Amino acid sequence: MSALDIIMILLRIAFGVLVPLSFVAVLVWMERRGAAYFQDRSGPNRCNIMGFRAGGLVQNLADAIKLVFKEDVVPGHIRHKFYFILAPMLVFITALLCFAVIPFADVLLVGGSSYIMQAIPTDIGILWFLAIVGFGVYGIILAGWSSHNKYGVLGGLRAAAQVISYEIPMGLALVSLLAVYGTVNLTEMAQYQGQLLFGFIPMWGVVLQPLGVIIFIVAAFAETNRTPFDLAEGESEIVAGFHVEYSSMKFALFFMGEYVAMFVSSALIVTLYFGSYQIPWLATDTLLAYARPVTVLLMIGLPVIGYFFGQWIKKNNSSHYRREHDPRIRETKVYIALLWSLVVLLEVICLGYLLFAAGGGADRILVALLQIGTFLLKTFLMCFVYVWVRWTLPRFRYDQLQKIGWEKLLPLSLLNIFITSAVIVAFG
């Protein structure tokens, strides 16, 4: 094994671990700011370090410090302490492992070797996800059962009821999709979506499976215990449900596991239905053929994006009333300076690429970076949909979720399989 092989392995594993963990802070911030936006309030805007609030991100740091130093209480009435401690780890680790097989760029050819851009390169693809994701539910059930608390047990039972309501429609929605793609390999699915239908429509899963994407997204909301399907922790009825007895970092693991699962399910939805890392009408071969013009366009677009983003910062990082010595003015100036420093740095890198490195392996690395950025942007937008739905729809009762699963989603998923099979047989 060469040094390059070792470096690529470490980089892929680092991406598969650090990116979901980094997105926890981003998603907590998005949740709070999104909730504030939908409810017409300010959101977290007081916590700061020397006057710098980072748009509310500093509040995340304060909460993390609080949870780390909070007393870790294990109630005396708990008899199965091993399972009580295992449950949050199970929820968090399974959510993280699900991301390991999701491709974040096309196969990278460097130095005569090809590298599959997944943390764990494997051909089983979606089967890995289906095998691992179910263990997260066991973590919730174990937490409720081992707590020896009636509210916790109710939360665990609700999680069990949820499992039998959404996993069958989710699996059947995937059957239709697999019939279209003809593979379980997620990298091959992403490559398939780089083609064009009728020469101009991107062959994304949402175009080929318009009904299947609705079924899968609804099931994914239930999978991640997000509103309107957060039945296992319905605060208004069972005071946080399965994690009512947890505190400190064990509670934080449940909290982080939910947001990692939200990120991973968004990444999977993007991979299956929204083109994964594919840029519309710019497949990998096209990007490689036009790497220099794409870089020039990027150099033109970066200052434009920087200008509008800077204007957005100025608009949203200002007081709603007149204040003498407003600290936000100094804060905004620093953010704008950092933003334009980043733009200048990227411009220098792009110029250096055009002058000294264009062609060969540099083109492939550039294309891989563009595809990673595209994948993360799509995933970020899908995560916003999760937040959007949470603060728009009320929570369902667990019997209503079962009714949706068995009486609506199950017949629709079977109908979708029939229609998909008929189209494939008729048109090949």
Transcribe 46-82 into DSSP letters. S--BTTB-GGGHHHHHHHHHHHHHS-----TT-S-HH
Amino acid at 121: P
Neighbours of 313 (CB within 10 A): 16
What pLDDT does residue 413 have?
93
- Cα separation, 196 vs 204, in Å, equals 9
Cα 11–Cα 125–Cα 106 angle in degrees, nearest 5? 50
What pLDDT does residue 242 have?
84
> What angle, rounded to 10 degrees, do the helices at 3-38 and 81-98 form?
100
Name the 3-class secondary structure at 313: helix
Name the 3-class secondary structure at 202: strand
Record the tokens describing residue 387, joined without a space: 């937040």
Q: What is the pLDDT along the chain (428 residues), one digit of tens a residue?
A: 788 888 888 999 999 999 999 999 999 999 998 888 888 888 888 888 887 888 888 888 888 898 888 888 888 888 888 999 899 999 899 988 989 999 999 988 887 788 898 988 888 888 888 888 878 888 888 888 888 888 888 888 888 888 778 888 998 999 999 999 989 999 999 999 999 888 889 999 999 999 999 999 999 888 888 888 887 777 667 777 888 888 888 888 988 988 999 999 999 999 999 999 999 988 889 999 998 999 999 999 999 999 999 998 888 877 777 777 777 788 888 899 999 999 999 999 999 998 888 777 888 989 999 999 999 999 999 999 999 998 888 888 777 888 888 889 999 999 999 999 998 888 86
- Cα separation, 41 vs 37, in Å, equals 6
Helix H or strand E encompassing 214: helix 210-223
> Could you say which DSSP state residue 149 is in?
-
Half-sphere exposure of 248 (CA within 13 A, CB side): 9
Enumerate helices (H) and strands (E) in the chain, giving the number of each.
Answer: 16, 4
Q: Report whether 100 contacts 120 (CB < 8 A).
A: yes
Closest CA to 107 of 168, 184, 194, 176: 194
For residues 166, 404, 176, 425, the Cα torsion angle rounded to the nearest 10 degrees is 150
Backbone phi, psi, residue 75, to 5°: -55, 145
- Cα separation, 197 vs 364, in Å, equals 26
- Cα separation, 393 vs 409, in Å, equals 18
Closest CA to 152 of 95, 75, 220, 82: 75
Q: Report whether 272 contacts 103 (CB < 8 A).
A: no
Record the tokens describing residue 256, joined without a space: 């982080």
